[in-house]
Amino acid sequence: MHNDARMSRLIWVLFLTLAACRSAPGPRVIDLHPATPVARRNLDAQGCYRVQAGDTLYSIALSFDKDYRVLRKINHLPSNDRIYPGMHLCLHDSLARSSNAESKIVAPPLPQRKIALHVKKTTPQQMTVQGLPLRWSWPVHGRIVGTFSKQALGNKGIDILGKRGESVHAAADGRVVYCGSGLVGYGRLIILKHAGAYLSAYAHNESMLVHEGEMVKRGQVIARLGASGADRDALHFEIRKAGRPVDPRDFLPGPGCTRPDC
């Protein structure tokens, strides 16, 4: 009898343990990898992307790790980069040539412009492109809880812990080219275009304080920090150069700087 009672208690404890494990919520998985299944579902049989409402050339480029200038050229877009829902945007030059050949439409070649690049070796936060300095500063200050990774499915930027409602600052002078929540895994997202084919992205904002087409200055408040699409109050920050994600810490001032306007 004693052994039976002890066995019954063990079975009851095991049952409660399994029930607790089943009811405990697992960690939230946030997919920040470009070209998520949602984006890939909008590819046609030739691998061209079908533009959705709210898309911009820059948000598509960020989704697929592409250089927006290349997409502009191979799709023969107008100078204002205008795209519209339902349009098929080729992501590779070979696809664009095939698409043009099938439709028998020969698009006029873009004029070749010779641009002299004068790049001077300087501090990480200041890079000279075409003679104009591009200085970077921290969008917010806080503990880095997610670091950049070069792995295919790794983090494309850094995650900076903060307080809900805290000011998010533009990391460099630029133009707002995307404001929205159409990219899965980024929540409320702002993308800025900078000189020298640089883009910066600010994700998971509580609110956005700028609009597309607006010019902003380094240090200007562009959003309020939040947790849209994330499991904690933090800013996900990315820098892209010619479409390629780069480690923002290689561009931002050192740890001695404690202000967003450094």
Report the 10 Å Cβ neighbour count for 29.
7
Q: CB of 120 within 8 A of CB of 134?
A: no
**Residue 249 Cα distances to 40, 146, 148, 161, 243, angstroms:** 30, 12, 9, 15, 17
Average pLDDT over residues 12-29: 43
Q: What is the 3-state secondary structure (H, E, C) of 241-260?
A: ECCEEECHHHCCCCCCCCCC
pLDDT tens digits, one per residue of 238-259: 999 999 999 999 999 986 565 6
Containing 57, the helix (H) or strand (E) segment is helix 57-63
Q: How far apart are CA 110 and CA 180, in angstroms?
A: 31
Mean pLDDT (the chain) is 78
Domains of the chain: 37-103 (3.10.350.10), 136-250 (2.70.70.10)
Per the structure block, which two tokens stand in for 211?
């609009």
pLDDT at 115: 34
How remote is the C-alpha of 149 from its chain's centroid? 14
Q: How far apart are CA 72 and CA 29, in angstroms?
A: 33
DSSP string, 103-161: HT--PPPPPP-----------TTEEEETTEEEE---SS-S-EEE----STTS-SSEEEE
Average pLDDT over residues 95-119: 42
Containing 209, the helix (H) or strand (E) segment is none
pLDDT tens digits, one per residue of 26-45: 333 334 444 555 566 788 88
pLDDT at 1: 53
**C-alpha distance across the termini of the chain, in Å:** 75
pLDDT at 34: 47
pLDDT at 141: 92
